[in-house]
Amino acid sequence: MKHLIVIFLFLGHNFANFGVIAQNRLDNNYQSILTKYVSNKGPGVAVIMVKNGEILFESARGMANIEHQVPLTTNSVFRLGSITKQFTAAAIMMLQEQGRLNVKDDMKKYVPDFPTEGNTITIEHLLTHTSGLANYTDDHDLFSLEIQVPIDLDKMLKRFEEHPMPHKTGEVMQYSNTGYVLLGKIIEVASGQTYADFIENEIFKKLDMNSSQYGGEQIIANRANGYDKTADGVVNASHIDMSWPHAAGSLLSTVGDLNIWFKALRSGKIISDKSYQQMIKPFQLNDGTFSDYGYGIRINKLNKYDTVEHGGGIPGFVTWAVYIPTEDLYVAALTNAGNGDPGVVARSLIAKVLNIPLPNFEPYKIAHSKAKTLLGSYSISEDSERTLLLEDGKYYTQRDGGRKFEVIPFSQEGFYYDNSLTYIQFDKNEKQQQVMNFYYSLIIDPQKAVKE
């Protein structure tokens, strides 16, 4: 019997060791993704990955403050940008459940003087980006010259009145930060609190999200500085006064608090399941088709999995958070580089957990004669195209005259975007037309464009 006990103790000890070793290997596997995409000397990324309520991985790499060599941690506080919209949409649902408003209400019930050019715009239209209102961040003069200076909410809305509506209400889903600032005003009118106070009192305090707050000039413990990467190196991000983003993008948080938040949102702790289901339901447009956006949440796919997700971008910061319902898998990734891509880290982690094959690229010397046949413009739709260019010996793609992105050949018919999961591959269709297949971040079915 003594010998048996010794054997069992020995085996138990070793099984425990095997478990630790296996977990360490997993952690190293996940950490290698951060190491691959994030420098430890520049702005970085904090990430959390949670499955079935268990934290599989939580880590950070890079600098919170480069000047003082302060490293990022999982407690670092980032500006969230448009992930704020989830909180704004949930606040609207809370007020609806309290009987203080209804998403079918005309917005003029709460903001009577804002021009709608004869359109009836409901709160739901604002939530789903189908109001037809302009997006104030598309106003170059405003965004480059005015956002550094604090502004009163009503004066800000008065400034937004200058922008004509580009679409009729309900016609298309077109992203509008203006619409979400108006939602912030509606929350203030319906609740009798400022937007900042409502979010603090009704969400952050109730959920013990102690590292989350509305942005401003206050001192914030563990705040990460925002940076931009340029051709000449890293620079401090341009200033934005946080009165401007308001309910469209003013909140700050950590990856840990975001996990608390989304678990509460989807589990009925902050709003009812009926309200949550309403938030993640695609919106039906005037022509009967459906958009890919609910209330502050985008409905999307990652490989074969349906997702609910949202990203954000604000000077010095880019954010992305995704939930895969069938796998009960939540991932949030935050970077303090304004032109960074936390999504590549998050998607790579998801691929590891769900056994999704990751593309593996190696530079390839493509024959100039072959490359020449691929150069040119490819039509995505009637009003959009993507072009493959060759300049000074390097290849670039450009969509609709926008920014050029370098691509690197990996085969006679393929090019990849460095430090990403995105690539393009060429083939011919049944009409023998040249086709550019654009594979974005692990999607299965590429976006197709035909050579013009």
Convert the pLDDT of each residue in 424-447 to its tens digit: 999 999 999 999 999 998 999 999
Inform me whether the pLDDT recorded for 142 exceeds 90. yes
pLDDT at 14: 59
382 and 344 assigned to the same domain: no
CATH number at 379 reads 2.40.128.50
Considering 354, 382, 401, which residue would you say is the last residue of a domain? 354
Domain membership of residue 241 (yes or no) is yes
pLDDT at 230: 87
Domain membership of residue 236 (yes or no) is yes
Inform me whether the pLDDT recorded for 27 exceeds 90. no
224 contact partners, CB below 8 Å, separation of at least 6: 64, 65, 72, 76, 77, 78, 317, 336
Inform me whether the pLDDT recorded for 407 exceeds 50. yes
pLDDT at 248: 98
pLDDT at 21: 45
87 and 134 assigned to the same domain: yes
Task: State the Cα–Cα distance between residues 85 and 90, nearest whole angstrom.
Answer: 8
Domain membership of residue 284 (yes or no) is yes
Inform me whether the pLDDT recorded for 116 exceeds 80. yes
Task: State the Cα–Cα distance between residues 374 and 372, nearest whole angstrom.
Answer: 5
Inform me whether the pLDDT recorded for 186 exceeds 70. yes
Domain membership of residue 49 (yes or no) is no
332 and 249 assigned to the same domain: yes
Helix (H, G, I), strand (E, B) or coil at 409: strand
Inform me whether the pLDDT recorded for 143 exceeds 80. yes
139 and 16 assigned to the same domain: no
Residue-range definition of the domain harbouring residue 382: 368-451
Give the pLDDT band (50/70/90) at residue 11: low
- E strand or H helix at 157: helix 153-160
pLDDT at 28: 81
Average pLDDT over all residues of the chain: 94
Cα–Cα distances (Å) from 135 to 143, 165, 243, 263, in that order, read: 11, 9, 16, 30
Give the pLDDT band (50/70/90) at residue 22: very low
pLDDT at 13: 60
Find the mean pLDDT for residues 266-271.
96
Domain membership of residue 142 (yes or no) is yes
- Please work out, in degrees rounded to the nearest 5, the angle formed at the alpha carbon of residue 387 by the alpha carbons of 382 and 392: 165
Inform me whether the pLDDT recorded for 16 exceeds 90. no
Considering 354, 387, 419, which residue would you say is the last residue of a domain? 354
C-beta atoms surrounding 296 within 10 Å: 28
Give the pLDDT band (50/70/90) at residue 15: low
Domain membership of residue 30 (yes or no) is yes
C-beta atoms surrounding 212 within 10 Å: 24
pLDDT at 10: 53
Inform me whether the pLDDT recorded for 146 exceeds 50. yes
Looking at the structure of the chain, the number of domains it has is: 3
Domain membership of residue 55 (yes or no) is no
145 and 214 assigned to the same domain: yes
132 and 197 assigned to the same domain: yes
Give the pLDDT band (50/70/90) at residue 231: confident
Domain membership of residue 61 (yes or no) is no
For residue 107, the Cα-to-chain-centroid distance in whole angstroms is: 27
pLDDT at 20: 45
Gyration radius of the chain over CA positions? 24
137 and 261 assigned to the same domain: yes
191 and 112 assigned to the same domain: yes
Task: State the Cα–Cα distance between residues 314 and 285, nearest whole angstrom.
Answer: 29
247 and 311 assigned to the same domain: yes
The pair of structure tokens assigned to 269 is 């702790």
The answer to whether 238 and 230 have CB atoms below 8 angstroms apart is no
Nearest Cα to Cα of residue 72 among 88, 82, 61, 59? 61
390 and 302 assigned to the same domain: no
255 and 202 assigned to the same domain: yes
Cα–Cα distances (Å) from 56 to 52, 148, 329, in that order, read: 10, 40, 10
386 and 415 assigned to the same domain: yes
Relative orientation angle of helices 342-354 and 2-37, to the nearest 10 degrees: 150
Considering 354, 388, 422, which residue would you say is the last residue of a domain? 354
